[in-house]
Amino acid sequence: QVQLVESGGGSVQSGGSLRLSCQIASGGDRYSSYVMGWFRQGPGKDREGVAALDSHHNAIYADSVKDRFIVSLDKAANMMYLQMNNLSIEDTAMYYCALRHEVYGGSWLRSRSYNFWGQGAQVTVSS
């Protein structure tokens, strides 16, 4: 079992920045290769993939956040981060980190392909 714990959510004004953290609290040494992703679910919306990267630091982004968000991985610290810049009201959502042990199992931004999830961190952007 892999346990993931998010932190760093909060409230910010439009144009501001936040950094989310995801700690692999346990089970991180089970897989030599894996993919970790950030997902979000806004009010009344479906969960969508935001960014993901594999254990070799190859990353992908949703078009809606490209050039604004940066995903990174610190394997030594068992941490994944999401640096969010130039935030807009449309970025308001609950953000979740997730891990999947199958690197080649389809799109990294597809939530159903992930095995383990954190509890979520709320991000609220106001005008």
Is pLDDT at 92 greater than 90 in this prediction? yes
Compute the radius of gyration of the chain from its Cα atoms: 14
Q: Is the dihedral of CA 2, 49, 20, 10 positive or negative?
A: negative
| 29, two tokens | 């040494």
Would you say 10 and 69 are in contact if contact means Cβ atoms under 8 Å apart?
Answer: no
Kindly indicate the confidence band of residue 106, based on its pLDDT and cuts at 50, 70 and 90: confident
Kindly indicate the confidence band of residue 115, based on its pLDDT and cuts at 50, 70 and 90: very high
Residue 97, pLDDT score = 98
DSSP 60-72: EE-TTTTTTEEEE
Pick from 104, 121, 122, 123: nearest CA to 113: 104
* pLDDT tens-digit readout, 51-90: 999 999 999 999 999 999 999 999 999 999 999 999 999 9
* pLDDT tens-digit readout, 38-58: 999 999 999 999 999 999 999
For residues 100 and 106, give the distance between their C-alpha atoms in angstroms, rounded to a whole number.
11
Q: How many CB atoms lie within 10 A of CB 93?
A: 22
Residue, of 75 and 103, whose pLDDT is higher: 75
Task: Provide the percentage of residues in the chain whose pLDDT is more than 70.
Answer: 100
Is pLDDT at 105 greater than 80 in this prediction? no
